[in-house]
Structure 1
């Protein structure tokens, strides 16, 4: 599952770094304590200790449950009762002892138990097997030309698949390096100026990068030198795509995935990095876009993304009912809505539950309206939702964080009607100081209520 031990740097957190050989020794030492356990919980602080503990669990064939270090009491109680870990590790001291010898666990052996955000109830534990991680990292390596020569930098949390599953375990499998920083555009730029080649980030981060590189030509040059900038976890607004490309010459590579599937789709390294598109299925992954009956909707129509392949999770821990409901004829039902372009590229338009608005007989994706509104100079941030309407079924509501003086609602409605079509214009505009977001920068639309 991991690259052979070597003297190449594997991890760097500030002034602390470990080579692949040192990581193997430290993790192998800890793994001896974990051998024979079923699950171990790890407080996923942004430290090398977290990485050592996770690798130790994987070496020993023990499923790792990463815990958000800022987790609240109720959610922590639920996760601990649900996962019932045999041991909890929190910033375990790194010890360079004699590493144990362990047989490679089978591909279906649980590797990680990632708890989802719980937007529709208590968080569910997504059980990811080893083959999901290894196959997906290898597929992304092919898509992005990602090799052991690359040095990845990011400031993502280590309790999600983005920051941990791909952002740490990816470099460790490929023999490369990862540098973890406290995010700021300047911190990322510093690493790019001192050997980093790739950046992982979420749209909130790239929004701040866009502002920073527009204001600082030297920082823009540092980002221009990157081999690859990758965005995920939510849709990247087209406006930020354009701002970064103009300032740095860099097109952002978008990809689409989720806890249950890891990464399904991505723009290739040499592909068309057009705004709003997340690319094609990665190697080994099948993707279809279907209607409520499971029939392919074809090109240009909105449907639900369904996925199958070696990247899929095993089950929701202790939830056979939820696991069964999540599949249709072997296909995982993502709940995400998309449109397939003529060249096969997917464009995500939102979640089935919150981002598909049925208004006046039309199915309308919130994402395209949000992108249109972000092109208006007086809109800094926006989220679009639907709410009940006696005439239309649902009316489109825009929740806007203005850039300065709020524009008139009819100005924004007219802007959308001109760019898209009249039936997609917001019927209601509400102004906010900020949008509610989770740790990964995703907007919590369920909290947007009058």
Structure 2
């Protein structure tokens, strides 16, 4: 059989050419079709060359068969895949294309006109223009760079995270083992495909397992429930914002529809939440609807998933579980010394899943690792009764006020249980006296709560030093495309004239 055998994801697909790999827009595509079309695209990209030799190829396509063909085609030709986000404005895409020095930008027809300005800095290639029947594909080593994904930019300028084929395989196999992926699985993918959650956790794990990945190009709660009711889907993974919207839509439906949906959800094998903290209230409401306790896990663009609640066993709200297979985790203090059990510390990770480098940023890459090779996540957690409990991100979720280190996530979780708080985001606001004071941005429910009464209510549930000094009432919180609150933008929202406290 022809080359590329060093890419296990491709090799495994050859074992079941007739199985359905992708469903989208009412059509189904087999693994054989995916192999055939991605080969043609790879040969078209090569244009007679022997190997793309890690040329960066950016691409923009809607979630579906074309997206996967482009991704696989770039890999099979020896290039580095750089997926763009269809929800990003053109300047954000230009940033990625310039930062990676992409040799080409592949796009499907619906994005051709939109991306035309990028033709001044990179070759714009229509998806339909690629394809060749004759030629040979290169044989690729596992240590080849495979993909560059960009960080969400919640704590600074986005950085290009470089993952090798070996790193991708480590991320995929850890999840397929821990979450017991099977060939008969059928997952509905509604997440953006420029991020590890949608690409690795869902798409790559499904294709590695011989399962089916169904795409819903645009998230609409009603369409999600329609897909569930067809009876094929048995796995679902999403961010907390999506579960929140599904719950809200479910509550508007007639009782018979709700019963049908709940009955179908109870047949699912697994439901996962990630990419942002899951409010306990959302977990409990979804459990009431579906009969499932959402599996929370912990990961980053730089390492895929590293920690997960168990597939079988107790899942506790606010806890992220134990290290995945092949992943080592430790908690350290500010002197990089391991902390005792029960004490908060920075999560550091080692394993084949960890990224290779930040593209073009050797200093940032060096700063991301300790001298003995541990990746510094910047996230704070504690080991509590056999499981890790996430406390927040060191730079934005750990508030340093009056000598205390305070978890913003803990305050948010309590605030969300108040009947008049629909959603909230807590940040540290710079203060000359205290270093930082706690600011809470609140999306009110049916009415805006009185701040004095809210503070008194909080003091019955939290120590006084953990209660906000500043309140800001907003219609919605600033979020990125994955629903994660952009804390730096939220900090900038706190101005004396806008706050009460």
TM-score interval for Structure 1 and Structure 2 normalised by the shorter chain: over 0.9
Q: Structure 1 pair 96/12, CA: closer, same or farther in 2 (3 Å)?
A: farther
Pair 1:339-2:376 in alignment: no
The Cα shift of 1:157 comes to 0.7
In 2, the alpha carbon distance for the partners of 1:284 and 1:96 equals 38
- 1:201-256 Cα deviation digits (max 9, x unpaired): 01100111222344533322222221111111111111100111122211101111
2:229 corresponds to which of 193, 196, 200 = 193
When normalised by structure 2's length, the TM-score is: 0.85
Pick the structure with greater CA Rg: 2
Give, in angstroms, the shift of residue 103 of structure 1.
5.3
Q: What's the CA shift string for 1:71-121, capped at 9, x where partnerless? A: 334333332222122222102139887486545522211111112233454
Q: How many residues align?
A: 449
TM-score by length of 1: 0.95
Instruction: Name the CA shift for 1:72/1:189 in 2 (closer, same or farther; >3 Å).
Output: closer
Write the distance in 1 (CA, Å) between the matches of 2:316 and 2:27: 38
Say whether residues 1:202 and 2:213 are aligned partners.
no
Please list the CA deviations of residues 300-330 of structure 1 after superposition, one character each: whole Å capped at 9, or x if unmatched.
Answer: 3322111110001111111101100111120
Distance in 2 between the 1:424 and 1:354 partners? 15
**CA-atom RMSD, angstroms?**
1.9
Show structure 1 runs of 5+ residues with no match. none
Map of 2:394 onto structure 1? 352
Equivalent pair of 1:126/1:259 in contact (CA under 8 Å): yes
The residue number in structure 2 matching 1:223 is 265
- Partners in 1 of 2:433 and 2:155 — Cα distance? 28
Would you say the 8 A contact 1:256–1:278 is kept in 2? yes
Q: Distance in 2 between matches of 1:118 and 1:241?
A: 27
Q: Please tell me whether residue 39 in structure 1 is matched to residue 47 in structure 2.
A: no
Secondary structure of 1:363's aligned partner: strand
2:304 is the alignment partner of 1:262: yes
Counterpart position of 1:429: 471
* In structure 2, distance between residues paired with 1:200 and 1:101: 37
CA drift of 1:404 comes to 1.1
Asked if the contact 2:43–2:133 (Cα under 8 Å) also holds between the matched residues in 1, the reply is: no
CA distance in 1, matches of 2:229, 2:172: 26
What are the residue-to-residue correspondences of 1:3-22 with 2, within 5 Å? 3-5=12-14, 6-22=17-33
Write out aligned runs for 1:277-356 (5 A): 277-329=319-371, 330-343=373-386, 345-356=387-398
Task: Find the aligned partners of 2:213 and 2:18 in 1 and give their Cα distance.
Answer: 14
3-state secondary structure, aligned to 1:34: helix
Counterpart mapping for 1:72-111 below 5 A: 72-91=89-108, 92-93=127-128, 98=133, 102=137, 104-111=139-146
Unaligned 5+ residue runs, structure 2? 1-7, 109-126, 253-257, 496-501
Residues 233, 440 of structure 1: 8 Å contact kept = yes
